[in-house]
Amino acid sequence: MGVLDRLGLRRPGPPPCSASGQFQIAGVTVINPMHGRRAGATIEISGGSITGISDAQTPLPSGFAGCFALPGLVDMHVHLPPDNALKLTQGAALLYLRHGVTSVRDAGDLDGTAVAAARRSSRQGVYPVPRVISCGPFVGAGKATFKNTILLADASAAAADAAARRVKADGASFMKFYEGLTEPMIRSLEGACAKHDLRMMGHVPRGMTYEDARIAEVQHFFGVPEPATLERDTLVNRSCDWHAVDERRMDAIVDATLKYGIANTPTIVTNQKMLCYRDFEATRRQPEMSKVPPFYLDVVWHPERGRPGNRMQRDYLDRQVAPAIAKKQQLAKRLFDAGAQLYLGTDVAQPFVIPGASLIEEMTLFIDAGIRVEQVWQLATRDAGDRLGIRGLGRIEPDAPADILLFRRDPTQTIGNLSSLEAVVTAGKLYRITDLDRALRSSQAYFASPLIKPLARRGAERALARAFGGAGA
C-alpha cells in the first residue's frame, strides 16, 4: 500500500473510543427483555465485564442519564468478509456495531480467512469488532460449494470424528452441517460433536426433509418444502419454493420441531432482500446500499457478474419468493406460539443483506409476524447468548460481558425506537453513534474514491472466484 500512502489515500482510522477500562453509566433504565427492568440504575463496567448494577448516583454528570440500557444484539447467522488487501473486516464490524450488533456467529468461513482476520483485529484492539463465535469450515460431502469445506468420505464414526477435530482445531464452537450429507452421516456427526463439545447447526441437505434430517438448529427453514415439490433442485429453490407448504405441512413441521427439540434460525430477511432483483438499478440507488463498498453492487450482488443464483427472474420473485416470505413469517409465529426456540440471523453476504441493518429488518419481520417487540428482543439477546454458551452474554447483569446499547427512547415499546441508539458498549469499550457514523462515512468515501474503487472491484472478482472455486452454486 506504499503507493496509496504517497497519494494520500490512507485507510480511514478507527472511531474514537469514549470510555474503556473502568467506568460507569449512570441514571439509566436497565432492561433485560422479558426479564425485568430497573430504573435509575448505575452500571459499573471494568475490564470488559459488567461488575455491578446499583442505585448509587455518581457525583459525575452522565451524558446518558435517562437512557434505556439493553444488552447488545446477536446476529446468529453471518458470513464475515474474507481477509484480503481490502481489509473488509473493519468496515463490516463498524456496520454491525453502528446498528447495535455486538456479537455475531459466523455460519461458515467462506474461504477460511474471515474469522481469523476478525479475531486478529479484536486482539489488536485498535478497530472495534463484534464478538465472533464461529462454525469454522463447512462440513459436507460430495462436491463442495465453498472451497473451505471438510468433505466426509463416508458415514463412519472415524470420518465424523476427524471432521469434528478439524472444526474444533479451527477455534469453532459450532459445526455447520452443509450440503451433500446423508442421514447416516448426520447421525455420525452428532456423535462426534457430542464427544468434542461442539454445538450443531446447519442446512437440511438437498433431497432430505426437515424431519428426516433432524438438524439440531435448522437454518433458513430448509427441508420444510418437501424435495419432490421443488421447481428445481438449487439452494434458491429450496429457500423459496414454498407453494406446496400448506397448513397441514406447517402442522407437521411444528410437531416434528417439538418432538425432536429442533431450533430454527429462519433468516427471512434473505428472502425479503431477493425482491430487490425486481429492480436492481433502483436498489443500487437506495441510500442503504451506499453503506457497503460499491463492489458489492458492481460485482458480488450484480445479477450478471455475481453468483449464478443472483439471476432471479421477475416472474419467479412474484410467484414464489414474495409468498414464501409471508409463509415463513406464519411458520415462525406458529413455532413461537408452540414454545419452539427461534433465533434471529441474517445470512449477511447474501445479496443486499447489509451487516447490522439486516438484523433490525429480521426483527421487524418477526414483529410483523405477530411476535411482540420485547419478545423479539429476548430472542436476539438472552436466548442467543444462552445458545452460544458464553456466560451472561445477552444480559445486563454482574459478570456478564459488557455489551450494552444505550437508547434515548425505549426500543421495546416500538421497534422504531431503535433509531434512537446513542452509544454502544462492546467488550467494555464505549463508542458514541456520532463517532461510529463519522468512521463509516470515511470508510464509504475511501472505497468510493477513484483510485480504490477499481482496485476493490478487481479484488472482489478474485475473492469471488477463490471462495467458490469456480463451482458456482
Chain contacts with Zn ion (rule: CB under 5 A)? 107, 347
Question: Is the CB of 128 or the CB of 355 nearer to Zn ion?
Answer: 355
Is residue 262 within 8 A of residue 340, CB to CB? The reply is yes
Q: What is the spatial distance between Cα 118 and Cα 128, in angstroms, rounded to a whole number?
A: 10
Residue nearest to Zn ion (CB): 347
**Residue entry with cell 444480559:** 395
Q: What is the spatial distance between Cα 269 and Cα 359, in angstroms, rounded to a whole number?
A: 8
Q: Min. distance of Cβ 347 from Zn ion in angstroms?
A: 4
Question: Is the CB of 107 or the CB of 433 nearer to Zn ion?
Answer: 107
Q: Min. distance of Cβ 270 from Zn ion in angstroms?
A: 8
Q: Min. distance of Cβ 350 from Zn ion in angstroms?
A: 7
Residue 78, sorted as left (phi over 0), alpha (psi -120 to 50) or beta, turns out to be beta
Sheet order of strands, 101-106 included: 73-78, 101-106, 131-134
Q: Min. distance of Cβ 348 from Zn ion in angstroms?
A: 8
Question: Is the CB of 107 or the CB of 117 nearer to Zn ion?
Answer: 107
Question: Is the CB of 357 or the CB of 396 nearer to Zn ion?
Answer: 357
**Quick one: which of 49, 64, 112 has its CA closest to 391?**
49
Exposure letters 189-212 (e unless 16+ CB within 10 A, then b): bbebbeebebbbbbbbbbbbbbbe
Question: Is the CB of 107 or the CB of 393 nearer to Zn ion?
Answer: 107
Is residue 151 within 8 A of residue 181, CB to CB? The reply is no
Is residue 97 within 8 A of residue 436, CB to CB? The reply is yes
Exposure letters 76-111 (e unless 16+ CB within 10 A, then b): bbbbbbbbbebbbbbbbbbbbbbbbbbbbbbbbbbb
Q: Min. distance of Cβ 306 from Zn ion in angstroms?
A: 16
**Residue entry with cell 405441512:** 249
Question: Is the CB of 106 or the CB of 241 nearer to Zn ion?
Answer: 106
Three-point CA angle 244, 250, 256, nearest 5°:
125
Q: Min. distance of Cβ 309 from Zn ion in angstroms?
A: 12
Question: Is the CB of 294 or the CB of 356 nearer to Zn ion?
Answer: 356
Q: Min. distance of Cβ 267 from Zn ion in angstroms?
A: 7
- Return the HEC string of 249-267: HHHHHHHHHHHHCCEEECC
Question: Is the CB of 107 or the CB of 321 nearer to Zn ion?
Answer: 107
Distance from the Cα of residue 425 to its chain's centroid: 19
Q: Min. distance of Cβ 106 from Zn ion in angstroms?
A: 9
